[in-house]
Amino acid sequence: MRLYEWEAKQLLAERAVPVPDGGLARSPGEAGALARGWDACVVKAQVLHGGRMKAGLVQFAEDGASAEGAAAGLLEVDAPQSPPSVLVEERLQVREERFLAALYDPRARGPEIVYTPRGGIDVEQDAEDTVVRIPLEPGRPVQTFRLRAALRNAGVEGRDLRALTGIAAAVAQTFFAHDATLVEINPLAHVAGRGWVALDAHIELDGDALGRHPALVERFELGARADDGRFPTAIEQAASKIDELDHRGVAGRLVEFDGDIALIIGGGGASLTVFDAIRDAGGRPANYCEVGGNPSVAKVSAFTRLLLEQLSPSRLAVVMNVVSNTRADLVARGVVQGCIDAGRDPADTIAVFRVPGAWEAECHELLADYGVQALGRDVGIDAAARLAAGVTTR
C-alpha cells in the first residue's frame, strides 16, 4: 500500500529526517495562504503514481496568487482520492541531488539500503556500478557503523558523511518500524543553509501487515483505501460489498479501468495472465478482478450485474484457468442471471465463456440454452483472450 508524499514525509520527519517547510492544502485559498510565508514555493498534486514532474503535476509559484492558480489546476486532476489535495512547500535552493532508499532486494532475498550519488528524474538509468547496496538485518537494531563505512567507501566525507549516515539510519528504521516494502527519498537534496533535505519521499507498506499498525491505519485512514493505497472508486466499493454478501468464494474484488470489455477472471493466479493476454491481443479491459473459490450464484449474479450496469461494456468475457474447487455451472448460472437482471441478452453480451472446472458438462448445457457457446479445455487462455478482444481466429 502506497502512501501519499505528505504522509511519507511526516513519518520521516518524526525520525529527524529534514523535510521542506510546508503544509497540505485542499483548496486554492489554503494553498495561497501557505505560500505567502515564502519568497517562492512548490505546489505538488498528491497522487499515488510517479512521474509527476513530467506529467505537469508539480508547479512552481512565486507568490500566493500564483500558488492559488497552480493549486486550482492541480486540484482538478482526475485521480481516485478523497478529498483531492496539494502539498505546498517552500522552494529551496538546491546544490546537488542524491538518491537513498530502503527496499527488498529480490536477488539477495533481503532488505538493503540503496544509495546513488545522483538523484532526481530518471535516476534508474544510472549505471549499476554507481549504486551502493548495504544489506540490512531484520530483527536487529540498525548498525550505523556499517552504513557509515559503506558511504565512506562510496566517497562521502566530512559533514556529509555524518548527515547521510543519520538519514540512512532513519530510513532503515522507518522501513522496519512500519513493515514497509519501500522507503525512498528522491531527491535527497543538499540545500543552501540547511544541509541535506528530503525534497520528495515515497513509502510503500506491506498491506498484509497493517493489522500490526492500528494507530497508523487510523491516522491515515488506510482502512478506507484499496490495496494500492488509493481510495477506491464507487464501483470498487460496491463490488467489495458484494464480496461480503456471504463467506463462499470470491466475487467482487475489483479494480476499475477505462476499457470496454468487462472481465470475470480467475483461477489459481491466472487472472493476471488473462488480463495481460487480452491487452496483448488488442483488447481494452474495463476492470481487473479475481473470481474463484466457488462463490455463490447470488454473488456472481450481483457482480455481473454491477459490471454491466456501471461499466457499460460492449461485451463480457468470463475466462478462468482449470479450477477444481469452483463449480463451473454455478458461475454460469450467476453470469446468466446477472445479464438478465441488467437487461442484457446473455447471447449478445457474453463474448467468451471458458471455465474448466467441476460440473463443466452441466455448465455447457446451461449456457447452450441461452445461446452461449462455452469453450472447452482445448481452447487455451491466449486463444480465449483473442476471442474476447474481438480477434476471431484461434
Residues 6+ positions from 17 with CB-CB distance below 8 Å: 167, 170, 171, 185, 198
- Please state which of the four CATH numbers 3.30.450.20, 1.20.1740.10, 3.40.50.261, 3.90.280.10 is assigned to the domain occupying 234-388: 3.40.50.261
Per the CB < 8 A criterion, the answer to whether 171 and 98 are in contact is no
Q: What is the pLDDT of residue 92?
A: 94
Among 6, 12, 54, 57, residue whose Cα is nearest residue 34: 6
Tell me the domain boundaries of the chain.
Answer: 21-90, 94-224, 234-388
pLDDT in tens, the chain (394 residues): 889 999 999 999 999 999 999 999 999 999 999 998 898 999 999 988 778 888 889 999 999 999 999 999 999 876 555 568 999 999 999 999 999 999 998 887 899 999 999 887 766 655 566 789 999 998 888 999 999 999 999 999 999 999 999 999 999 999 999 999 999 999 999 998 899 999 999 999 998 899 999 999 999 988 777 666 667 788 988 998 999 888 899 888 889 999 999 999 987 678 899 999 999 999 999 999 989 889 999 999 999 999 999 999 999 999 998 877 889 999 999 999 999 999 999 999 999 999 998 999 999 999 999 999 999 999 999 999 999 998 765 4
pTM of the model: 0.67
Q: What is the pLDDT of residue 207?
A: 85
Residue 372 grid cell: 452461449
d(CA 32, CA 54): 24
d(CA 204, CA 218): 17
Q: What is the pLDDT of residue 268?
A: 67
Compute CA distances 382 → 22, 277, 286, 393, whole Å.
51, 6, 18, 11
Compute CA distances 282 → 110, 142, 318, 381, 382, whole Å.
38, 49, 17, 15, 12
Fold of the 94-224 domain: D-amino Acid Aminotransferase; Chain A, domain 1 (3.30.470)
d(CA 49, CA 81): 12
Give the position of cell 492541480.
74
Strand partners, 250: 292
Rg (CA), the chain: 25
Sequential DSSP letters for 358-376: ETHHHHHHHHHHTT-----
94-224 and 234-388 share one fold: no
The residue count of the chain comes to 394
Give the position of cell 548527515.
163
- Please state which of the four CATH numbers 3.40.50.170, 3.30.1490.20, 3.30.2310.20, 1.10.10.60 is assigned to the domain occupying 21-90: 3.30.1490.20
Phi-psi category of 180—alpha, beta or left, where left has phi over 0 and alpha has psi -120 to 50?
beta
In the chain, DSSP finds a helix count (H) and a strand count (E) of 13, 17
**Cis upstream peptide for 187 (omega within 30°):** yes
In the chain, the N- to C-terminal Cα span, in Å, equals: 39
